[in-house]
Structure 1
Amino acid sequence: MTKPLERTVAPLSRIQQNVLARSERQLLNWLCARMPHWVTPDFLTSLGMVGAVAIFVGYAASGFSVSWLALALAGYAIQWFGDSMDGSLARYRQIERPAYGYFIDHSCDGLATLLILAGMGISPFVRMDVALIALAGYLLLSVHAFLSARVLGELKLSYLAAGPTELRLMLITLTLMMMMLGATPGLFGAVSGFDVFVGTVGGVLILLFVFQTLVTGRRLALRGG
């Protein structure tokens, strides 16, 4: 009796050159060795999404009271733990499911980013159109990463020496500034300093997408395919 064919997924070369990569890897390995057996990668992925929902609620409710931003800060910690640990624990326990893990992890990343930036846009601190520019930048760079994984076999996890953890730290700092300064009047008419920061990050991501597209296109052209 023949067995059904199983789809195999070619291993990807993970490129991670962010500043905190080595220290974070040491911490994650330490945590993996101490995780109870009942904590599974799927549980951690779900926990990361709970953190993303908490961030959304914290930002969205900050129009009623700035104290809600404390929930967003807690959400960032939860989201980092779940998002960073799920794949690490699977690799540590040697229970990886490459296709499933790749699909679920990046799907959740996209949804989590939407929740974070939508929450910011609903808050009194960042305009929705500015938040959408940042979301567009993230999604464009994600498109590049996924295309590079397909045509080059490389999954790029960091740009300009920064990765998801560094970006979370920037957003945590931004949230702390929101708590300290409140919804201050705009520096340039209707545009606040928070708008400038989030819009600048979005613009940088879009420019990185354009630059990386040109670089990757040249690499493919030079190798003839």
Structure 2
Amino acid sequence: MTDDNFGNTQPLDRIQENFLAKSERRLLNWLCARLPMWVTPDKLTGFGVLGALVIFLGYALSEWSLHTMWFCILGYAMQWFGDSLDGSLARWRKIERPKYGYFIDHSVDGFVILLIMAGMGLSPYVRMDAAAFATIGYLLLSIHAYLAARVLGEFKLSYLSFGPTELRFVLIALTLAMMVGGPDAGRVGKMSGFDFFVAGAAAVLNVLFIWQTLVTARRLDLMERPRSK
């Protein structure tokens, strides 16, 4: 994080406690050691964005053909590969650019979640308002992570033992359920079972944002509270 004068950067304390963190780290290190030199972190970032575009098209076109959602599965794999490996490869090769990497990586994260949820909202399976609610929750939690990185020097990469990789597995499972159940699965009135699932996940994200904000505010208050003489 930057100091109070936005001068030299200091390494962030990356907090990653998701279920798959250790196994994923071993796999990423194995891949980093074997990637050819022409594969660069920037190319991997672009590949991850391409994966998000594939996901968007897979959902958005599913009204015309159920089979387009197989592209979503492919897109999630592409997005994991690019997003998980770009920073890992930079650290493995010791070519990190902390300010540039931090800015690009997290700007891209916001764009990626927008593509995924917009595509889902354009599909016949999830209402756009439910998808928008989930997008808001994700972005609010992201804002908290970026603010905490600034004021605490801690960058939290997982919540409730879930991180980006676990979220992709949940979204893949949700996509497969859509393909099996159809748009009307679990429908109650104007909302399908998938609407309820996405809206429920959105509610969890928003509550987590509020809770983490209160916890962090309490920590900062105790750190900076004037001491009585």
Does the TM-score normalized on the shorter chain lie above 0.5? yes
- Structure 2 letter corresponding to 1:120: M
CA distance in 2 between partners of 1:123 and 1:32 (Å): 36
Please state how far the C-alpha of 1:9 moved relative to its aligned partner: 1.6
1:1-225 superposed matches below 5 A? 8-184=8-184, 187-224=187-224
- Structure 1 letter corresponding to 2:147: L
CA distance in 1 between partners of 2:63 and 2:8 (Å): 49
Whether the aligned pair in 1 keeps the contact of 2:185 and 2:194 (CA below 8 Å) is: no
Please state how far the C-alpha of 1:183 moved relative to its aligned partner: 1.2
Pairwise CA RMSD: 1.1
- Structure 1 letter corresponding to 2:23: S
CA distance in 2 between partners of 1:172 and 1:153 (Å): 33
The corresponding residue for 2:3 is none
Please state how far the C-alpha of 1:162 moved relative to its aligned partner: 0.3
CA distance in 2 between partners of 1:7 and 1:211 (Å): 31
The corresponding residue for 1:3 is none
Whether the aligned pair in 1 keeps the contact of 2:44 and 2:86 (CA below 8 Å) is: yes
Runs of 4+ in 1 over 3 A off after TM superposition: none
Percentage identity across aligned positions? 62
Please state how far the C-alpha of 1:188 moved relative to its aligned partner: 1.6
Please state how far the C-alpha of 1:10 moved relative to its aligned partner: 1.7
Please state how far the C-alpha of 1:7 moved relative to its aligned partner: 5.2
**SS of equivalent residue, structure 1 residue 162:** coil
For 1:191-215, what per-residue CA distance to the aligned partner results, in whole angstroms no more than 9, with x for missing partners?
Answer: 1110011111110000000000000
Under a length normalisation based on structure 1, what TM-score does the superposition of the two structures give? 0.96
CA distance in 2 between partners of 1:176 and 1:89 (Å): 31
Please state how far the C-alpha of 1:73 moved relative to its aligned partner: 0.6
CA distance in 1 between partners of 2:7 and 2:44 (Å): 25
Whether the aligned pair in 1 keeps the contact of 2:60 and 2:122 (CA below 8 Å) is: yes
CA distance in 2 between partners of 1:21 and 1:86 (Å): 16
- Paired residues, what number? 220
For 1:75-95, what per-residue CA distance to the aligned partner results, in whole angstroms no more than 9, with x for missing partners?
Answer: 000000000000000000000
CA distance in 2 between partners of 1:30 and 1:8 (Å): 32
- Structure 1 letter corresponding to 2:85: M
Please state how far the C-alpha of 1:44 moved relative to its aligned partner: 0.1
**SS of equivalent residue, structure 1 residue 14:** strand
CA distance in 2 between partners of 1:214 and 1:145 (Å): 13
